[in-house]
Structure 1
Amino acid sequence: MKPNIIISESARPIWQIPIAALFFTIATVILILGLYNLTFTEKGLIVFLYELKSSILFIAPGIGFTLTKSIHIDITNSRFRPTFNVGPLKFGSWQTIKNYEYVSVFHQPTINGDYVFEVNLWYDQNKHFELYEENDYKEAFLIGYELSEQLHIDLLDATVPNNFQWVNKDEWKSKIASETIE
């Protein structure tokens, strides 16, 4: 059994890095020029606040081009930490899970009419935590299966509305071994 599990969104496409760098560079230049021209008068502070606002407006899309989400699960200490990563910076705090119940995989409709598959970890009787979203059924199920195996808990297939079924994990083991997952 692995003591720690990390579930992470895939890395951003390489073409987004220069775009994010451009936005961060523009924001930094605006902020530096604002600080350089800062005068401690009422008009000077108002001008600086407008430049600060402009800088923030360039930082926002830069963050959008670099933001990824990951979940760290510490099985040994029964805790998890959702993190938001912006480049090398990680934001998130550890939360304790007392009783793992089961992992569920279900589909959630999106605004445009498509579906996204979500993997949730249910704990403490009725609490759950969204671990992962994926457009591909197979990928979402493999993540849910692997997590349920590591935690030694059941896996619920909730992809068909009003027809939830507990997954026979022995059957899935043989499907994975023979690579016949549909």
Structure 2
Amino acid sequence: MISNSIISESPRPIWQIPIAALFFTAATFILLFALYGIQLSEEGFILFLHRLEPCIILISFGIGFTLTKSIHIDIVNSRFRPTYNIGPIKFGSWQTIKNYQYVSVFHQPTVGGDYIFEVNLWYDNNKHFELYEEDNYKEAFLIGYELSEQLNIDLLDATEPNNFKWIDKDEWKAKIASGKID
């Protein structure tokens, strides 16, 4: 059994890093300009806030080009930590979960008519922890399978509406071993 694992979104494409750097650089220059011309009066403070508006907009675009999500799992201590990464900076806190029940894989329709497959960990009868989203069924299902194996709990395939089925994990082990995963 693996005691720690990380489920992570795929890294951002390399072309997005320079674009994010441009947004962050422009925001820094605007902030420096706003600080340089600051006046210690009510009108000066209002002018400073107006100069910060484009800075905040540029920072949000930069974050949009660098934000990734990952889930750190400490199985030994029954802890999960969802983290949001903006470059090297990580935000997130540990959450303790006891009484694991099962892992489910299901799909959600998107606006464009495609589907996003989600992997959830269910615990305490009706609570769930959203672990992973992927547009590829096979990848999402393999993540769900691996986690259910690590936690030694059941796996539910809920990708067909109103036709949920429990997965025979021994059959899946054989499929993975043979390399014939549908």
Instruction: Assess same fold via TM > 0.5.
Output: yes
2:37 aligns with 37
For 1:149, the equivalent position in structure 2 comes to 149
Q: Once superposed, what is the RMSD of the aligned Cα atoms?
A: 0.7
Question: 1:155 is matched by which residue type in structure 2?
Answer: L
Partner of 2:158: 158
Could you tell me which runs of 5 or more consecutive residues in structure 1 were left unpaired when the two chains were aligned: none
Deviation of the 1:43 alpha carbon? 2.1
Number of equivalences? 182
**Following TM superposition, by how much is the alpha carbon of 1:111 offset from its aligned partner in structure 2, in angstroms?**
1.3
Per the alignment, residue 121 of structure 2 pairs with 121
Mapped to 2, the partners of 1:118 and 1:149 lie a distance apart of: 17
Deviations 1:15-38 (A, max 9, x none): 000000000000000001111111
CA–CA distance in structure 1, aligned partners of residues 101 and 5 of structure 2: 17
In 2, the alpha carbon distance for the partners of 1:127 and 1:52 equals 41
TM-score by length of structure 2 reads: 0.98
1:5-154 equivalences under 5 Å are 5-154=5-154
- TM-superposed CA distance for 1:148, in Å, is 0.4
Q: Distance in 1 between matches of 2:72 and 2:61?
A: 26
2: distance between equivalents of 1:13 and 1:114?
A: 21
Identity percentage over the alignment? 75
